[in-house]
Structure 1
Amino acid sequence: MSSNSEWTLEKLEELIKNQVQESLTLDYKDSRSLGSSNGKKNEISKDVSAFANSAGGTIIYGIQEENHLPKCIDEGVDPDEISKEWLEQVINSRIQRKIDNIHIYPIIISSNPDRVIYVVDIPQSSRAPHQANDKRFYKRYNFQSLPMEEYEIRDVSSREKTPRLVLSSHVENTKHLLQPHRIISHQKSIAIVDLRLNVINKSFEPASYAYVQIFGIAE
C-alpha cells in the first residue's frame, strides 16, 4: 500500500468494510503491540525494518485481524502514554541504518476521542538493508516479517549502488482542432497537447543518462 497523507478514520473503516486483506505492503496490528517492554519495542523494529527492506508499505496499529482480514478497530492507545514522538524514537533508535521518510499518522477514534490509532507509512528504502534491534535483517513474506537469507541481504544492498529512475508526465495546453476528412460531413477531432515528462532519481547513486521511449497508437 502506497503512502497516503490523508489517512482518516473513515478510510480505516473502509478497509474493514471492504475486507482488504493483509499483504506484502499492508499489516494490521492490535494496538497492544505498542508498549514500553523491550519485547514489544523489538517487534516494532523488526516489522518496520522488514517493510523498508522489502517493497515498503503500511502498518496500522489499532485494527484487529482474523485470518489476515481486518476484523474491527480496537480500543486504541492513550496518546499521552504512547505518543507519535515515542513511536518515532523507538523506530529511529532500534533500527540501523535510520530509515528516511517514515510517516506516522495518529487517528482519533470518534467513539473514544481520548484514544488513537497509529498508521505508519514506510517507504521502500534505497539505503537498505536495515537491521532490527536483535541484529537481524528482516523481509516481508507471506504476511510475516522473516529473517533474510545472506544472498537476499547482498541483493537488497545493491539498491544504493544503482540509480532508481521514476518517470512522471502531465499534459498542458490541450487544443482541439477539426481535421477535414475526405467527406466533409465526417470530421475528426485532433488534440494538440504539450506533454511534459519528468525523470526523478530516487536513489543516492547518480544516473549518467536516461532513455525514454514514447509510443503512439495510430487509428
Structure 2
Amino acid sequence: MYARTDATTSFLTCILVVFRMKTHPSEWTEDDLRQLIGQPESLTLEFIASVLCLPGQGFTRLLGKEISAFANSEGGVIVLGIKENRGRPRVAIDLDEGIDPEKFTLEQVQHSADFSVRPLINGIHCHAVPLSGSRAGRVAYVIVVPRGSTAYQAGNYVYYIRNSWRNDPAPNHLVQLLMSRATAATAALEIGNCEILTKDKYHQYRFDLVIVNTGKQSIEDVLLSVKLVMNSDEPQLWAPTMFVDSEDAIQDELKSVESMLEIGENPDEYRRHEMLQGPGIPFQSGDELRCSLRRIMQLLYQVDNRKIFPQDRLVFPGGKWLIEFVPQYLQLRQYQPKLHWTIYLDNAPPCSGVIDMGAAFLE
C-alpha cells in the first residue's frame, strides 16, 4: 500500500494529446507503420514524405527543426516515407513509394540526424523498415528522438519546441529553462492499488494515482492535468474531490472554482453542486471532454511542511479514482482506455505521458 499525504487541491483546465503504440518505435515493422494510417501528426509524431528525403544540407536543415522541437519537448518519432493529406494537422493516409536505401543509406540518415542540431544528442536511434509488394527493395526510415537534457538549436540557430503538431520557435525564457533541465525536477505518474467492484450490472474500476519524483531535486508544488480517452462515451472517469462542511469553507472554495463552475457565490447553490455529492466530477471521453469545462480537471498539490524527495511517491489525496459504467459483460480494455497526463513543476519543463488503463487492470 502507498502512504497517503495530505494536500489541498484547486481546479483548472487543460487538454493534452499524446500518441503511443504498443511496440517501441525502434522495433517498428511495415505492419506497425500501416497502423499509423489515419493518425494525425501530434506532440510526439511527425511524418516526412520520401520525396523530401535526399542526402544533403537541405534535408539536414529540415530534420534539424523536427529534432530540435522533439528534444526540447518530450521526445518523439519521425517517420520518413508516409503520404499525408494537406489538412492541419496532417494525417497519414498511406505509405508512399519509399526510399531507395542505396541512394540514401541508413548511415547517412543517422549522420544527418546526429549533426542536425547543436549540441549533439545522445540516443537518437534510426532504423530502416523494409517495404513489400510494389515497394519491395525500398524502405521507410524511423527516427526516434529522446527527450533532451538541455536546449537544442537547429541549423538555422533557432531553438524549437513542439506545440501540438507544429514546431514553434522557443521564447528566450523557455530556452533558459531548458538549459537547466539536466538539474531540474522531473516526475512521472503511475497507478496503484487497482481493484474491480461490481454493482448494478456494471463494473467499477478503482485505483490510486501516484506521482513519482523521478529526478534528483525535491518537489514541493505539483500541478497535475489528466484526460481519459476511450472509444466510447459511456464509461466515465471520476476524481476524488474535497468535501467542505462550513459556510466559511464553502466560500473559500468558491473563490478558487467559481470561474470554472459558473455557479456564482451562493453557498446553497454550491451545496447542491455535484462537487459535494462525490465521489467527484465525471470526465467524459470524446468530444464532450473538449467542450465541457466541468469535465476537465487539474489538481494543484501544495504539500504542507514536507517535500516529495527524489524517488519518493505521493498518492493523490482524497481517495480512489473511479472508472464507472462498464457493463459486466465487457472488459475495460475493450474500450481502449488511455489516461493522458501532464505534470507541471516549479522552474522545470512539464513532464507528460500516457497510461494504458486496460493493461493496468488484469482481468
* TM score, norm. by length of structure 2: 0.46
Which residue of 1 is the match for residue 35 of structure 2?
Answer: 14
CA 200–8 in structure 1, closer or farther in 2 if over 3 Å, else same: farther
What runs of 5+ residues in structure 2 fail to find an aligned partner? 1-18, 194-211, 219-308, 321-363
Cα deviation digits, residues 182-202 of structure 1 (max 9, x gap): xxxxxxxxxxxxxxxxx795x
Tell me how far apart the structure 2 counterparts of residues 93 and 58 of structure 1 sit (CA, whole Å).
Answer: 17
Counterpart of 2:99, as a letter, is: V
Is 1:60 the counterpart of 2:79? The answer is yes
CA 63–140 in structure 1, closer or farther in 2 if over 3 Å, else same: same
8 Å CA contact 2:26, 2:126 repeated in 1: no
Q: Which of 61, 75, 91 is matched with 2:113 structurally?
A: 91
Q: Which of 97, 107, 110 is matched with 2:132 structurally?
A: 110
Which residue of 1 is the match for residue 312 of structure 2?
Answer: 211
Determine which structure has greater relative contact order: mean sequence separation of CA pairs < 8 Å that are 6+ residues apart, divided by chain length. Answer: 2
CA 170–132 in structure 1, closer or farther in 2 if over 3 Å, else same: same
Q: Any idea what SS the aligned residue of 2:153 has?
A: coil
Counterpart of 1:38, as a letter, is: Q
Tell me how far apart the structure 1 counterparts of residues 127 and 169 of structure 2 sit (CA, whole Å).
Answer: 27
8 Å CA contact 1:53, 1:130 repeated in 2: yes
Q: Which of 154, 165, 177 is matched with 1:155 structurally?
A: 177
Q: Which of 41, 47, 54 is matched with 1:28 structurally?
A: 47
Question: Where in structure 2 are the equivalents of 1:31-50 lying within 5 Å?
Answer: 31-50=50-69
Report the Cα offset of residue 113 of structure 1.
Answer: 2.4
Q: Any idea what SS the aligned residue of 1:121 has?
A: strand
CA 46–209 in structure 1, closer or farther in 2 if over 3 Å, else same: closer
CA 15–163 in structure 1, closer or farther in 2 if over 3 Å, else same: same
Report the Cα offset of residue 168 of structure 1.
Answer: 7.1
Tell me how far apart the structure 2 counterparts of residues 31 and 94 of structure 1 sit (CA, whole Å).
Answer: 18
CA-atom RMSD, angstroms?
A: 2.6
Report the Cα offset of residue 154 of structure 1.
Answer: 1.4
Q: Any idea what SS the aligned residue of 1:40 has?
A: helix
Is 1:120 the counterpart of 2:143? The answer is yes
Counterpart of 1:48, as a letter, is: I
Q: Any idea what SS the aligned residue of 1:5 has?
A: helix
Which residue of 2 is the match for residue 129 of structure 1?
Answer: 151
8 Å CA contact 2:80, 2:140 repeated in 1: yes
Aligned residues: 186
Counterpart of 1:105, as a letter, is: H
* TM score, norm. by length of structure 1: 0.74
Cα deviation digits, residues 123-174 of structure 1 (max 9, x gap): 211x221111111111112422222111121122231122435577999xxx
CA 28–94 in structure 1, closer or farther in 2 if over 3 Å, else same: closer
Is 1:5 the counterpart of 2:106? The answer is no
Cα deviation digits, residues 82-102 of structure 1 (max 9, x gap): 112111111222311111222
Report the Cα offset of residue 6 of structure 1.
Answer: 2.5
Tell me how far apart the structure 2 counterparts of residues 90 and 136 of structure 1 sit (CA, whole Å).
Answer: 17
Tell me how far apart the structure 1 counterparts of residues 161 and 173 of structure 2 sit (CA, whole Å).
Answer: 12
Tell me how far apart the structure 2 counterparts of residues 76 and 51 of structure 1 sit (CA, whole Å).
Answer: 24
Tell me how far apart the structure 1 counterparts of residues 144 and 162 of structure 2 sit (CA, whole Å).
Answer: 15
Q: Any idea what SS the aligned residue of 1:15 has?
A: coil
Report the Cα offset of residue 44 of structure 1.
Answer: 0.9
CA 169–89 in structure 1, closer or farther in 2 if over 3 Å, else same: same
